[in-house]
Amino acid sequence: MNTFKKLKEFYLPYKKYFILSAIFMIVTTAITLVYPVLLQKTIDEVVIGQKFGIIPYLVVGYLVLMAIKGVSTYIQQYTGDYFGIIAMYKIREKLYEKLQFLPFRYYDNAKTGDIMSRLTADVQGFRQFLSFGFSEIIRFVLFVGISIVVMFSYSVSLTIVTILALPFLIIVVNKFDKQVHPAFRAVRKSFGHLNTKVQENISGINTVKSLSKEDFEIDRFHTFNVDYRDRNVHNSNIWAKYFPLMEFIGNACIILLLSYGGYLVINDRILPGQLVAFYSLVGYIIFPIMNLGFIINIFSQGKASGERLLEILEEPNEIKEKENAERDVTLKGDVEFKNVTLNYPGDENAALKNISFKAKPGSVIGLIGATGSGKTSITQLIPRFYEAVSGEVLIDGINVKDYDLNTLRTQIGFVLQESFLFSSTIKANIAYGRPDVSMEDIVNAAKRADAHNFIMELPDGYDTLLGERGMGLSGGQKQRIAIARAICINPSILVLDDATSAVDMETEFAIQKAMREVMHGRTTFIIAHRISSLKHADEILVLEDGEIVERGVHEQLMTNNGPYERIYNIQFKDQQAILQSQMG
Ligand SMILES: Nc1ncnc2c1ncn2[C@@H]1O[C@H](COP(=O)(O)OP(=O)(O)OP(=O)(O)O)[C@@H](O)[C@H]1O
């Protein structure tokens, strides 16, 4: 029940639809329960008592009741459904919002396919409960309660005989519930895994194909598919096992009723019409009890789904803004790290150890070092993608924790090694950070990023639609669109993370030229493996295992006989070797 309580903020505001649905359900149920009484009157008074004069009244009575039942079923179903749909619409909005603000840490381990299945299948599972589960419980109580009262009014002993079988039925239903809930949770989980597999495969289809791993992928999918199949089969097995058992007990109960009831009719203790009415009423008790499996099913699914939705909704977000955070200030771009140490969650080895440096507004800082040495980690602390465990990251003398996140992040531009382009127009991709920007500014940004010419050569120019992940453009072209996007937000701090590593030398040269233009007047962090990309930096930080092992300008570092000079020599020798092999 806790799960439903925790999610109440999403459905309680719409309780009026639920109440309306419940009221009309009572009307529908009441009318259904009147049928057996009418049947009893028809048999005992019209057929046996030969009072044919009341036939027209009975016919009109039946018709009126059926018409009222039709209208009330419509209202009950519509409002019940509406209650579930509107609550789920709210939950989906909240989940999506939550996903937007969850920290990077969450996404390091989260699986896209699993999140997708929570947002679709689990939301649907919970909706089923809201739309049908609640009302089915009410219907159950009404049917069983009223039927028993009517039955007692006909014959106490027959009612007692009939309900003798009920405890057996309740025990079976209870056992069924105990098994079906974990089985449902397992089905949902397995579906999440299956989704993840498909999503990863499609995202990584280039790698799959280039390494010819189609068969391997098919085998892996097969494993997940088998698991999903088996869990569904297990679930079906529980259903298949318990339903005949419930039906058997129900039928045994009816046989008992007909035997004892028949004996009572023969001995004139009850009328034949009363036995027929009894028979219908027993159906109204037994079938809801058997149907309890279906209700429990909806309930279990709703609970399992609700738990999975809560896992996202209750995920803590440690990157919070202070109440009186600095907002709407323009950053000058003075960046300082004071003894910063970073540990990624779940990793006891520090990714950054005691990092200290200062970057004046408009200066260029180069970060170089082996892969995994911590270059990207440094830049991720500036916009608070992650939080340092000790030390301080300051911008314009203020700790990044004291800034409003929006103020901070909208003034830090990133161009990554592989930029993500949305499946929309080039124009929308460039303007993504500032949708209100004018077309003139978009074109200007594209020109400065050296992207305008190739965009104009595309059939629809700036209105060209890009496929998922910007397919249809070369690596260099995508990169230039990403640079234009970064220019568009006019950032005070710019991070170029290995932005040219994926392109050829000629494109790299063109991009670097474009970037020099963009870097002007902004504090820029260049992460690069090639010395040529950062040799003009105002300060170069050389990293090893999360520590700064050397720092200075290019000329200084070249005479230091340290790691920088070693990297230079390797790269320089490489160039010499390439030149020699080309010449001779
Ligand atoms: N999100 C993360 N979760 C856990 N560990 C991480 C995460 N990101 C990086 N690391 C670890 O932190 C260390 C530094 O990584 P970082 O990406 O900063 O290195 P880098 O110098 O930028 O490497 P590269 O040149 O390969 O991009 C590595 O050991 C890496 O495995």
pLDDT tens, position by position, 141-185:
888 888 888 888 888 888 888 777 778 878 887 888 788 878 888
| DSSP classification of residue 45 | I
Residue 24 has pLDDT above 60, yes or no: yes
Question: What element of type H or E holds 109?
Answer: helix 104-109
Residue minimizing CA distance to atom 2 of ligand 1 = 344
Residue minimizing CA distance to atom 29 of ligand 1 = 372
pLDDT-derived band of residue 221, with 50, 70 and 90 as boundaries?
Answer: very high
Collect all residues with Cβ–Cβ distance below 8 Å to 50 and sequence separation of at least 6. Answer: none
- State in Å: Cα 393 to ligand 1 middle: 18
Task: Return the percentage of the chain with pLDDT > 70, whole number.
Answer: 95
Neighbours of 201 (CB within 10 A): 18
Separation of alpha carbons 531 and 148, rounded Å: 87
| Mean pLDDT of the 95-101 span | 91
Residue minimizing CA distance to atom 25 of ligand 1 = 371
**Ligand 1 site residues, Cβ closer than 6 angstroms:** 108, 344, 347, 351, 369, 371-377
- State residue 574's pLDDT score: 62
Q: What are phi and psi of 388, to 5 degrees?
A: -65, 145
- State residue 464's pLDDT score: 86
Least confident of 13-17, 250-254, 569-573: 569-573
Separation of alpha carbons 314 and 309, rounded Å: 9
Q: Which residue has the higher pLDDT, 483 or 469?
A: 483
- State residue 269's pLDDT score: 87
Residue 471 has pLDDT above 60, yes or no: no
Residue 512 has pLDDT above 80, yes or no: no
The closest-lying atom of ligand 1 relative to the alpha carbon of residue 349 is 29
- State in Å: Cα 102 to ligand 1 middle: 20
Average pLDDT, the chain: 85
Separation of alpha carbons 162 and 258, rounded Å: 10
| Mean pLDDT of the 293-299 span | 77
Residue minimizing CA distance to atom 26 of ligand 1 = 371
- State in Å: Cα 567 to ligand 1 middle: 20
Separation of alpha carbons 382 and 399, rounded Å: 10
Q: What is the distance, to the nearest Å, from the Cα of residue 548 to the centroid of all Cα atoms in its chain? A: 39
Residue minimizing CA distance to atom 1 of ligand 1 = 108
| Mean pLDDT of the 36-50 span | 86
Residue minimizing CA distance to atom 18 of ligand 1 = 374
Collect all residues with Cβ–Cβ distance below 8 Å to 424 and sequence separation of at least 6. Answer: 465, 466
Tokens representing 146 are 């009223």
- Kindly write down the DSSP assignment for every residue of 303-345, as one continuous string: HHHHHHHHHHHT--------TT-B-SPPP---EEEEEEEE--T
Residue 290 has pLDDT above 80, yes or no: no
| Mean pLDDT of the 260-272 span | 89
- State residue 575's pLDDT score: 63
- Of the candidates 393, 351, 350, the one whose C-alpha atom is nearest the C-alpha of residue 369 is 351
Beta bridge partners of 355: 340
| Mean pLDDT of the 241-249 span | 84
First to last CA, the chain: 79
- State in Å: Cα 377 to ligand 1 middle: 6
CB 187 within 8 A of CB 228: yes
| Mean pLDDT of the 573-581 span | 64
The closest-lying atom of ligand 1 relative to the alpha carbon of residue 386 is 1
Which amino acid is present at 353?
K
- State in Å: Cα 327 to ligand 1 middle: 30
Neighbours of 188 (CB within 10 A): 21
Pocket test residue of 105, 106, 352, 376 for ligand 1, highest count of atoms within 8 A of CB: 376
Q: Hey, which bits of 523-563 come out as E strands?
A: 523-527, 539-544, 547-552
Separation of alpha carbons 75 and 267, rounded Å: 46
- State in Å: Cα 565 to ligand 1 middle: 24
| Mean pLDDT of the 203-228 span | 88
Least confident of 207-216, 306-315, 574-583: 574-583
- State residue 76's pLDDT score: 92
453-457-459-465 Cα dihedral, nearest 10 degrees:
-40
Task: Return the percentage of the chain with pLDDT > 90, whole number.
Answer: 24
In terms of C-beta density within 10 A (0-12 exposed, 13-18 middle, 19 or more buried), how is residue 117 classed?
Answer: buried
The closest-lying atom of ligand 1 relative to the alpha carbon of residue 498 is 27
- State residue 366's pLDDT score: 92
| Mean pLDDT of the 61-88 span | 92
CB 337 within 8 A of CB 488: no
Tokens representing 27 are 């009307």
- State residue 568's pLDDT score: 78
Tens digits of per-residue pLDDT, 486-505? 888 888 999 988 766 656 67
Residue 223 has pLDDT above 70, yes or no: yes
CA angle 414–416–417, rounded 5-degree value? 165
Q: Is the full-model pTM beyond 0.80?
A: no
Residue minimizing CA distance to atom 9 of ligand 1 = 377
The closest-lying atom of ligand 1 relative to the alpha carbon of residue 367 is 21
Pocket test residue of 108, 343, 371 for ligand 1, highest count of atoms within 8 A of CB: 371
- State residue 134's pLDDT score: 76
- State residue 23's pLDDT score: 92
The closest-lying atom of ligand 1 relative to the alpha carbon of residue 373 is 21
**What is the chain's Cα-based Rg?**
36
pLDDT-derived band of residue 137, with 50, 70 and 90 as boundaries?
Answer: confident
The closest-lying atom of ligand 1 relative to the alpha carbon of residue 369 is 21
| Mean pLDDT of the 377-390 span | 91
Neighbours of 452 (CB within 10 A): 19
Please give the ipTM for the structure prediction: 0.95
Local structure of 387: helix, strand or coil: coil
- State residue 228's pLDDT score: 95
Beta bridge partners of 399: 394
- State residue 367's pLDDT score: 93
Collect all residues with Cβ–Cβ distance below 8 Å to 248 and sequence separation of at least 6. Answer: none
Residue 470 has pLDDT above 70, yes or no: no
- Of the candidates 244, 246, 281, 278, the one whose C-alpha atom is nearest the C-alpha of residue 166 is 246
Separation of alpha carbons 582 and 580, rounded Å: 5
Separation of alpha carbons 484 and 148, rounded Å: 75
Domains and CATH numbers, the chain: 2-313 (1.20.1560.10), 329-411+494-502+523-584 (3.40.50.300), 417-490 (3.40.50.300)
- State residue 565's pLDDT score: 82
CB 350 within 8 A of CB 341: yes
Residue 29 has pLDDT above 90, yes or no: no
Residue minimizing CA distance to atom 30 of ligand 1 = 372
Residue minimizing CA distance to atom 16 of ligand 1 = 374
| Mean pLDDT of the 350-375 span | 90
Residue minimizing CA distance to atom 12 of ligand 1 = 351
- State residue 159's pLDDT score: 87
